[in-house]
Amino acid sequence: MLVSKCTYYAHRKILNLGANVFYFYLGMKMNFGVIEHAQKGLAILIDPDFGGQLHWEHMVALAKKSPAKLIFIGGSFMHKSQLDNCIQIMRQANLPIVLFPGSSQQVVDSADAILLLSLISGRNPEFLIGQHVQAARSLKKSGLTILPTGYLLIDGGKPTTASYISNTQPLPADKPQLAAATALAGELLGMKLIYLDAGSGADRPVSMDVIAAVRKEVECPIIVGGGIKTQEQAEQAWMAGANWVVMGNIFEEDPSILEDWK
Ligand code: 1GP
């Protein structure tokens, strides 16, 4: 019994150490007073709902040529086997792979880490805690680094899959203080990352005003995504205080944008 307790605590310690290293990497400690000097990273998002082996092999080649430092993998419908296949292939890009799950069914050990998303912009208990309860035991058993993340959907000009599937309203795009208070509440609840998402294929990315207001309020790293299609938009997000900018659709549709990256 004692041995198994010791093993348990040793295991927890190693997991915590792993998590801290990962937060450091993901957080890329920045000087919050000098937003324009913030360190920044680009992440690509691969949606395994679309494509198969050939497509993902092509994505690997493109990812290798791109400035991306991180791969998020996530979608709304996929099955575990498809997710696993996608991860195995994307491994060849030699970048950390972080799950961006759409549901509790999308926990697989083959990734490095998982964003444990709580949809704090919404008021649907299923996405605040319900899915988490379903996933809790498999998360604990997995070797994944768990990244508790306050997930905020921000209105990007049209309904998105995330708002439809989660049955929640995004936060209004012109209410930066509402986004800031929501993100702060998430951080005070213990969330280690904040993800501001205008939703996949959004017409308008999250505005600089919203990002800056959130940056002012929270200390944890901020991930921004949804509708970002140009280097200029990515630079604006970083300038406003994002640590990570996510490009999904554009990377899969016209990855030349990343080849021409300056
Ligand atoms: C969506 O933030 C991601 O959840 C990425 O969005 O596909 O529009 O880049 P895009």
Number of compact structural domains in the chain: 1
pTM, two decimal places: 0.88
Rounded to the nearest whole angstrom, what is the distance from the C-alpha of residue 194 to the centroid of ligand 1?
15
Tokens matching residue 120: 């704090």
Could you tell which of 42, 44, 45 is best to mutate to test the pocket of ligand 1, judged by most ligand atoms within 8 Å of the CB?
Answer: 45
CA dihedral 66, 90, 98, 158 (to 10 degrees): 70
Range of the domain at 255: 2-259
pLDDT score of 77: 76
pLDDT score of 38: 44
pLDDT score of 46: 95
**With a 6 A CB cut-off, is 217 part of the ligand 1 pocket?**
no
Could you tell which of 71, 197, 244, 251 is best to mutate to test the pocket of ligand 1, judged by most ligand atoms within 8 Å of the CB?
Answer: 197
Q: Of 165, 140, 74, 148, whose CA–CA distance to 111 is shortest?
A: 74
Could you tell which of 66, 203, 247, 253 is best to mutate to test the pocket of ligand 1, judged by most ligand atoms within 8 Å of the CB?
Answer: 247
pLDDT per residue rounded down to tens, the chain (262 residues): 445 555 555 555 555 555 555 666 665 433 323 223 347 899 999 999 888 999 999 999 999 999 999 999 998 776 778 899 999 999 999 999 999 999 888 899 999 999 999 999 999 999 999 999 999 999 999 999 999 999 999 999 999 999 999 999 999 999 999 999 999 999 999 999 999 999 999 999 999 999 999 999 999 999 999 999 999 999 999 999 999 999 999 998 887 888 778 7
CB 71 within 8 A of CB 98: yes
Looking at the CA of residue 223, tell me the nearest atom of ligand 1. Answer: 2
Q: 3-class SS at 216?
A: helix
b/e string for 90-99 if b means 16 or more Cβ within 10 A? beebebbbbb
**With a 6 A CB cut-off, is 249 part of the ligand 1 pocket?**
yes
**With a 6 A CB cut-off, is 200 part of the ligand 1 pocket?**
yes
- What are all long-range contacts of 82-85, with beta carbons under 8 Å and residues at least 24 apart? 82/48, 82/49, 83/48, 83/108, 84/108, 84/110, 85/48, 85/52, 85/53, 85/56
Q: What CATH number is attached to the domain comprising 202?
A: 3.20.20.390
pLDDT score of 18: 57
